[in-house]
Homo-oligomer: A and B are copies of this chain.
Amino acid sequence: MLRKSAFKKLRIIGLLVLAFLFFQHAGAQESKQMVRLAKIIVDSTQLKAYSKALNEQMNAAIKLEPGVLTYYAVAEKSAPNQITILEIYADTTAYQSHIKTPHFLKYKDTVKNMVTSLELVDVTLIGVAKKPD
């Protein structure tokens, strides 16, 4: 009887340890993510060409790079040349590898005379909620 109860306790402790390790791992995965807001001002006369280059870059990166997770690009209604991009990478290594890819370098070259201001703001994701795809 004593040995049975000791075994039960051990099993519970084991489960608790496993649960702890699982959540720690999940937390570490998330905190490793690199999240950023890119605030971009574009020459108004080149807005269409900029949007085309941006979308090409985003689609290629998502398709080709496992560590590029999410892009949302928005333009202000009252100032459509003021653009904010939410960017999520798996980690900083994924980002460093991203900026050396042909599609990113092509984007940078294409937009170099379109972008008049670029501010990169490092952020932390404090909440996400969305409908399933």
Q: Which residues of A contact B (CB under 8 A)?
A: 35, 37, 51, 54-55, 58-59, 61-62, 68-78, 80, 83-84, 86, 121-133
Contact = CB atoms under 8 A, between A and B. Distances in A.
Given A86-B86, A124-B75, A130 B70 contact: yes
B126 A69 contact: no
Given A69-B131, A129-B58, A80 B37 contact: no
Greatest chain B CB density within 10 A among A54, A59, A126 is at: A126
A46 to B, nearest CB: 14
Contact of A126 (B37, B54, B126): B54
Contact of A122 (B35, B76, B122, B126): B76
Contacts of A75: 123-124, 126
Given A58-B128, A69-B130, A72-B128, 16 more contacts: A37-B74, A37-B84, A51-B127, A54-B126, A59-B129, A62-B130, A70-B130, A71-B127, A71-B129, A73-B127, A74-B124, A75-B124, A75-B126, A76-B122, A77-B122, A86-B86
Contacts of A72: 72, 86, 125, 127-128, 130
